[in-house]
Amino acid sequence: MMLFKIALRNIVRNARRSLMTASAIAVGAIALVLFGEYNDFVFLGLETQSVMANGHLTVFEKGYFDFGSGNPAGYSISKYKSVMALIGTDPVLQPMVHVVTPTVSLFGIAGNFAINASKTFFGTGFVPSDRERMRRWDEYHLVAPGTVFPPLGVTDIDINRGVLGIGMARVLGLCGPLKVKNCPAAPPPPKQNTDAPVTGPAMDFSELSARDRVPSEAAPSETAPRLDLLGATAMGAPNVVTFYATGANSQGVKELDDMYVGMHIALAQELLYGRGEHKAVSLIVQLNRSEDMAAARARLNTLFAAHKLPLEVHDFTEISPSYLQIRNFLTVMFAFLAIIMGVIVIFTVVNTMSMSVMERTQEIGTARAMGVRRSGIRMQFLVEGLVLGVIGASAGLLLGTLLALWFNHANIMYTPPGQARQVAIRLLIGDFPLMLRIWISLLVIATIGSLVPANRASKMKVVDALRHV
C-alpha cells in the first residue's frame, strides 16, 4: 500500500507530464474500444445477414458442393419432403430448428421479346412464406424496430411472379415498367448493314417445348412485364416457362445483380425438371440460435447416416466465404491497430519514467543509503507505471463508451460490403470481455514500459546518486 501512495504522490508532483502520459494511454484505449466494438457489431451483422439469406445449415446431395453448380439437376435431393419431415420431427432437432425450406438453383436464358432482348440468368426458387420467416431472424436484436424489408415480389399463391436484379432489369429493358430509379435507358441498336442479307426477327423461344409447359392455376395479370425463361431439364431437353416480373431489387454485388432472377420454387422446378420428379437442389435449415449450429450439424449427419441418405451438410461460413474473409480482415486490422497503440504507449511511458528517474536521482541514492534494496527501487517505478496505466486505461474506456453512445445516436450512414442499401454505423456497446482485455493489456504495456527506467534506477551506485547535481 505504501508503494501505491508514493506512486500517486510522484504522479501528482509531475502533474503535467503524468497527464500527457495518461492521455496517450487513454487515446489508445479509446481507439481500441471504438474499433473493437465496431468489429463486434459488423461480425454479428454479417452473421445475421448470412443467416437471413442462407440459414445456418444447408443440406445437399453428396457431391453437389464440389461439382453440382454446373449440373444442379444431376445433384438434386429426391423425395426432399420426406427428408424435411425427418428433420422436423426429430426430437433432438425440433427445439433447435426455426425454418426448414427447400430451394432450387438453376441457370438459363431470359428473353424479353417485346424488344428482342435476352440475357443469361441465375435463378433461385424458394418458398416465399418460408423466406419471409427467415428474414425475421434476429437473435442479436440488431434490426431496428419498425424496419421495413423490401418486398420479396413472390407469393405462395401465384407461382409465375418473381423479381429481377436491377442489372437484369436494365439489360432486358424493364426499368420503365418496373419503375427502377437511376436506371439508364438502353442505347439505340447499331444500324444494320444494308448489304447484309435480311433476316427475320429473333425467334421467340417461348414456342419451344410448349407441350411440356403446365399453365399456372392462378395466371398473373398481363400488366406485369412478361419474360420467357429457357432452361434445360435433367434429361437435357429444352424447356420454357412464362415469368412475370413484379419488381427489381439490388443484390449488392454487380455480378449477381446482372443475372439474378428470384422465383417461386414450383416455377423453378417446372423449368429444371419438366415432367420428371420435382426435386430440391438444397434444403436450408435455419436455427433459433447460432450456438446450436455445431450440435445441429452433428445430429443431421447422424440422422442421414442412420437412414442411409446420401446427403451432406454445410454451414453458412462455407456457403458464404465472404463472411470469414471480412471477419479475418477486420481482425487483422484490429491487431495491427493494437500493435501501433501498444508501441506508442510503451515509448510514452519509457520517456516519462526516464525523466522521472533523472529528476529523482538523489532521492534514489538517499533511499538506497537508508537500506532500500534494488528490488524495492525497481518496484517503486513499476508501480508508478502501473498506476499511470490504470488511470489512463480507465479514463480511455469511459470516454470510448461515451463516444460509442454518440456514434450510435449520430445516425452516420454507409453502405457495407455485400449490401445494397445504406445502414447506420453502429457499435456494440457493453462488450465487457473486450473492454477487460483492453484494460488489462494497457496495464501490462504501461508496466513493461516502466521496466527499463526502473532497472536503470535500481542499478545506480549509491555514492554517484547522492552527489548527483
Dist. CA 140–CA 397, nearest whole Å: 23
Question: Which residues, in sequence order, are CB contacts of 136 under 8 Å at separation 6+?
Answer: none
| C-alpha cell at position 42 | 459488423
- What is the H or E stretch that residue 31 is in? helix 15-54
pTM of full prediction above 0.75: yes
Among 277, 309, 341, residue at a domain's last position: 309
Looking at the structure, do residues 297 and 386 belong to the same domain, yes or no? no
Which tens digits make up the pLDDT trace of 99-145? 999 999 999 999 988 888 889 999 999 999 999 999 999 998 887 77
- Phi and psi angles of residue 335, each rounded to the nearest 5 degrees, phi first: -65, -40
58 domain residue, yes or no: no
Domain membership of residue 81 (yes or no) is: yes
Asked if residue 114 and residue 38 are part of one domain, the reply reads: no
Residue 187 lies inside a defined structural domain of this protein: yes
Sign for the CA dihedral angle at 119, 121, 127, 131 comes to negative
Evaluate the CA torsion angle 438, 440, 443, 444 in order and state its sign. negative
Domain shared by 331 and 235, yes or no = no
Q: Which of 309, 344, 363 is the last residue of a domain?
A: 309
One domain, residues 340 and 248: no
Specify if 57 maps to a domain: no
* pLDDT tens-digit readout, 402-455: 999 998 888 888 777 666 567 778 898 888 999 999 999 999 999 999 988 888
Is 131 found in the same domain as 25?
Answer: no
Question: Does a structural domain hold residue 239?
Answer: yes
282 and 368 inside one domain: no
171 and 278 housed in the same domain: yes
CA distances from 93 to 133, 140, 295, 299 (A): 18, 21, 9, 7
Domain tally for the chain? 2
| Domain with 391 in it | 2-46+324-466
**What sign does the dihedral 432-438-441-447 (CA atoms) show?**
negative
Same domain, 347 and 275: no
120 plus 251 within the same structural domain = yes
CA distance linking residue 439 with residue 189, whole number of Å: 65
Residues 39 and 75 placed together within one structural domain of the fold: no
In a domain, 233, yes or no: yes
CB count in 10 Å sphere of residue 361: 17
Contact 408, 35 (CB under 8 A): no
> Residues 73, 26: one domain?
no
In a domain, 56, yes or no: no
Write down which residue in 309, 334, 351 finishes a domain.
Answer: 309
Handedness of CA 71, 152, 100, 80 (dihedral sign): negative
Is residue 314 in a domain?
no
> Is there a single domain that holds both residue 353 and residue 429?
yes
pLDDT in tens, the chain (469 residues): 777 787 788 888 888 888 999 999 999 999 999 999 999 999 998 899 899 989 999 999 998 888 877 778 888 999 999 999 999 999 999 999 999 999 999 999 999 888 888 899 999 999 999 999 999 999 988 877 777 777 888 989 889 999 998 889 988 988 888 888 877 766 665 565 555 554 444 445 545 544 444 444 444 445 788 999 998 887 778 889 999 999 888 877 778 888 999 999 999 999 999 888 899 999 999 999 999 999 999 999 999 999 999 999 999 999 888 889 999 999 999 999 999 999 999 999 999 888 888 887 877 788 778 878 888 888 888 888 899 999 999 999 999 999 999 988 888 887 776 665 677 788 988 889 999 999 999 999 999 999 888 888 888 877 766 766 5
